[in-house]
């Protein structure tokens, strides 16, 4: 019999299996994204019942199997249960986990991914920033962690560090005024957008959600993030479709 191991993580998804069981997809620090079966978790007296939910964060004791893991116990650190009482927050949180699942695999080093998801769910519950702004920040930072950062500190064409006035998703980021005109880039951006991108890319994860923007600047950031994601992420997310119906 294989020995138990303890992994630290957050439940990305929880789905029903059979009459009493659940299938969990957990993002872990130690083993990346893993599939875990919680046998009997839906029984009223199960010790796994409360912990076998989406967004639960904690220490999961599991037994490795051939294609998945079996859950034996959980020490919960955060339930994030209040998310379930707000439909909009629930949709955003579902998108955050779906987007994270797109990028992660078993065996990956997911420490930064796990911390990003944790601080994002915390920000969602704190109500200090608009949910739409949290989404833009999250998208930009996750793509950065995965090696697909928006080029924001210099012109992607000539390397000029000043006068960054244009954005082109296909090119990978910002361009100076001269290159923007030369390459016929029509999307001009504000200085605030440039500084905001640089802040998101450079700041530690625990400080990521410590700023706010005017509605106009937030809309500009959302446009840039959305265009960049559509350019480099080849997947349609069901949770985004649901979010669009709430707008």
Distance (Å, whole) CA 31 – CA 48: 21
pLDDT at 247: 64
Percent with pLDDT over 70 in the chain = 99
In eight-state DSSP terms, residue 244 is H
Non-local (6+) Cβ contacts of 101 within 8 A are 12, 13, 25, 27, 33
With H, G, I as helix, E, B as strand and everything else as coil, classify residue 37: strand
**Which class for 80: exposed (0-12), middle (13-18), buried (19 or more C-beta within 10 A)?**
buried
Q: What pLDDT sits at residue 42? A: 95
Angstrom distances, CA of residue 22 to CA of 47, 125, 179: 13, 26, 54
What CA–CA distance (Å, rounded) separates 66 from 59?
A: 21
What is the pLDDT, as a whole number, of residue 241? Answer: 87
Q: What is the pLDDT of residues 173-208, one digit of tens each?
A: 999 999 999 999 999 999 999 999 999 999 999 999
Distance of CA 7 to the CA centre of its chain: 20
Nearest to 62, CA basis, from 103, 107, 30, 100: 30
User: CB-based contacts of 161: which residues, under 8 Å, 6+ apart?
Assistant: 153, 154, 155
Cα distance between residue 140 and residue 150, in whole Å:
7
Distance CA(32)–CA(8), nearest Å, equals: 10
* Confidence (pLDDT) at 242: 87
Instruction: Give pLDDT tens digits for 29-58.
Output: 999 999 999 999 999 999 999 999 999 999
With a cut of 70, which residues of the chain have pLDDT below it?
1, 247
Per-residue model confidence (pLDDT) at position 164: 98
β-bridge partners, 194: none
**Cβ 165 vs Cβ 180: under 8 Å:** yes
């Amino acid at each position: 019999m294989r020995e138990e191991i303890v992994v630290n993580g957050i439940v990305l998804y929880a789905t029903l299996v059979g009459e009493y069981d659940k299938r969990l997809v957990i993002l872990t620090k130690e083993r990346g994204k893993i599939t875990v079966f919680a046998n009997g978790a839906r029984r009223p007296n199960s010790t796994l019942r409360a912990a076998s939910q989406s967004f639960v964060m904690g220490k999961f004791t599991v037994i490795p199997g051939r294609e998945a893991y079996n859950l034996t116990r959980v020490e919960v650190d955060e339930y994030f249960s209040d998310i379930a009482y707000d439909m909009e927050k629930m949709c955003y949180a579902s998108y955050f986990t779906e987007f994270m699942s797109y990028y992660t695999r078993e065996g990956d080093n997911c420490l930064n991914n796990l911390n990003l998801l944790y601080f994002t769910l915390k920000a969602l519950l704190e109500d200090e920033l608009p949910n739409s702004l949290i989404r833009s920040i999250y998208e930009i930072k996750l793509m950065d962690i995965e090696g697909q950062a928006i080029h924001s500190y210099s012109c992607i064409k000539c390397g000029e560090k000043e006068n960054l006035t244009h954005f082109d998703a296909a090119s990978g980021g910002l361009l100076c005024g001269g290159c923007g005109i030369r390459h016929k880039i029509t999307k001009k951006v504000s200085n605030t957008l440039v500084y905001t991108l640089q802040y998101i890319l450079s700041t530690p994860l625990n400080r990521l959600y410590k700023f706010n923007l005017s509605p106009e600047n937030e809309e500009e950031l959302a446009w840039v993030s959305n265009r960049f994601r559509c350019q480099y992420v080849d997947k349609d997310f069901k949770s985004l479709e649901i979010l669009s119906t709430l707008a």
